[in-house]
Amino acid sequence: METALNELIRISTRVGQDKTLVLGNYGNTSVKTDDGKYMFIKASGARLDSMNSQQGWRRLRVESVVQLLESRKLRSASTVERSHLINAGLICACDDAHDAAVMPSIESFFHAILGRVVIHLHPECILAVACARNGQAIMQKIFADEKLPPLWIPYAGLGYTSAIKIKSLVSRYEKEQGRKPAIMLMENHGLIVNADSPAAALRLVSKAVNACQIKKPASAKVKNVETDVQAIRSTLLSIRSAIFQGEGRYACIKYYNDAGITAFTGLKNARELCAPGAVTPDEACQLAGAPMWIERVDTASIRSAIQRRIDRGQPVPAGFLVKGQGLFAAAAPCKADETAEFFRCYMRVRATTGAMGGPKSIPNKLLAAYCEPKQQIHRAGAVLSNRLAVVTGAGSGLGRSIAVGLARAGAYIALADIDAQAAAETAELIKNEIPASATLVLHCNVTDEDSVQAGFDKIIDNWGGLDICVNAAGIAPAYSLVDLPVNKWRAALEINLTGYFLMARAAARIMIAQKMGGAIINISSKSGLDASKNNTPYNATKAGELHMARGWALELGSHNIRVNCVCPGNVFEGSKIWNPEYIKVCAQKYGIRPEEVIPFYVSKTALNREIKGQDVADSVVFLASDQARRITGQVLVPDAGQVFVR
């Protein structure tokens, strides 16, 4: 037992660490015990290069797996019923201490019926042959001098159906050749090697890979044109808008370009190589097929191309290849770089198939039962799933609470704050609580036009658009009228009014350009509705924020951009405004002790409850969501019943 497991770990880490052999660490490996009764196999979803003695594998009873494969009940079952039976049967075949939630590889069946050591991989050079229209003939030509030639396995899906096909063809091969095939090329899938020892299996991998090094066709010379940043940003918005109009979903878009992408776009047949359809199950599941080839960059043209795919029952891909610009990946932020790397690999594969009749796609009906494109990450019950938001003052107090609340609701959050370290701490809080979310830290001075623009440029460059803008940064210099320094007055005007204006203006320009609507939310205050004593700058600016929002609502309504305000009551937790000095001023104002200030303010509410940051965040989430789709120019007052809107 120990020997077989150690051998599995050794060959798995060996091939897993060689990036020419694996893509995204996909593939599977198995080693049987000497008596053939047990098989150690890579666990489903585990990484080959991180397998160890404690994790990344399952031990199966070989006879149980073979019996399951040969089950008449399984053969006659419907697709859904068969899937349940397979999952239950493979778990029952496991004989180890691992949790039942850890499934063995979906390909356990063909591993069970082959030799002692089996390695299944997806090297690019093998994929190029396996995914070419003339792939089988090319394979036969490559290995023409072999006494025992490789076996070609026509595509038959994954898992059970693939194993049924392999079993039949291997049985025939064994009758003709006197032994099982050592090398197998799976059409539209990859490589299988079959040997008696780990060393022999690894040698077979090297032999097959070296033999299949097909030279890619030379690409046309493409001039290195300096990237037009504004043109790229315009394309990002157009693609995001087209996806929204075509499928009604919010997507994140990120731009990529390098020598390899440029070389592919320079091929004379680049458009043909990007023909719809996936050439492997992995390409279907990860990318929904080849990138969509775009020559005319405008929302209407891209929208039409997307609609044509939808009308033909073809999935919208996770990437768009724009002539003269590069690759635009539509993926969740945490998956964007990986998605782009997948596209680079499959561009190389498709380019190489050009010398072998071009790529051969898998019919959609053969893919539907096995995978579903997963470029974006949707969280159940997340009302703002995949929405892109920016929150100012996100490093502390209400800004932080709102940012966390939006992330909990499924949005990706750009955290804008003049204190970048504080914003980074908010990002860490979100990451720890909501690993599936994503954040951008923006070192932003909301009173500086260039700083604001740089922040929005970073959002576009990383995520491709914007759906929600929350103005929450603010200050509250507390002075009586006669003691108010003019510099404190001007500082409040700059941060609380100019800052809101600059952020809203930049956000509105993006939202108008991407034609997807949006939500702008000003965090005002109950003091904007009902003035408070010794608070001239705060009273004036918070009232001004309300009236600015009402005017913006009138201006932007035709673009389906909604503008609303939230007027919180006194929120003490984590607030920079409610600092010891401010509390001391309030104590003097009401003739009470500093420690009595917070209970005093709470007692002024109808509910007699302290208002928390999450209470305000919930109001913002509501106004940003489709539940508030007909609400604009309005004021929501989460103050526990202190000020009643008149």
Q: Distances in Å between the alpha carbon of 249 and those of 232, 289, 315, 319, 384?
A: 21, 19, 13, 15, 11
At 207, give phi and psi (nearest 5°): -60, -45
Residue 294 has φ and ψ, to the nearest 5°, of: -125, 125
Look up residue 147 and give its two tokens: 């006494």
Are 315 and 321 spatial neighbours (Cβ–Cβ below 8 Å)?
no
92 vs 5, 83, 317, CA distance in Å? 20, 14, 37
637: its two tokens: 């007052």
CB 348, CB 277: distance < 8 Å: no
Within 10 angstroms of residue 368's Cβ, the number of other Cβ atoms is: 12
Q: Report the half-sphere exposure of 172 (CA within 13 A, side-chain side).
A: 8
In angstroms, the CA 563 to CA 553 distance is: 5
Handedness of CA 365, 370, 374, 377 (dihedral sign): positive
Using CA atoms, how far apart are residues 611 and 620, in angstroms rounded to an integer?
A: 14
| DSSP secondary structure, 458-497, as one string | HHHHHHS--SEEEE---------GGG--HHHHHHHHIIII
Q: CA 91 to CA 104: how far, in whole Å?
A: 8
Beta-strand pair 468-471/388-392: parallel
> Is there a catalytic annotation at residue 538?
yes
Distances from the Cα of 338 to the Cαs of 47, 287, 333, 392, 504, in angstroms? 14, 10, 10, 30, 33
- The answer to whether the beta carbons of residues 640 and 611 sit under 8 Å apart is yes
Catalytic pick from 38, 346, 412, 538?
Answer: 538
Tokens of 42: 């890579």
Q: Which residues are catalytic?
A: 538
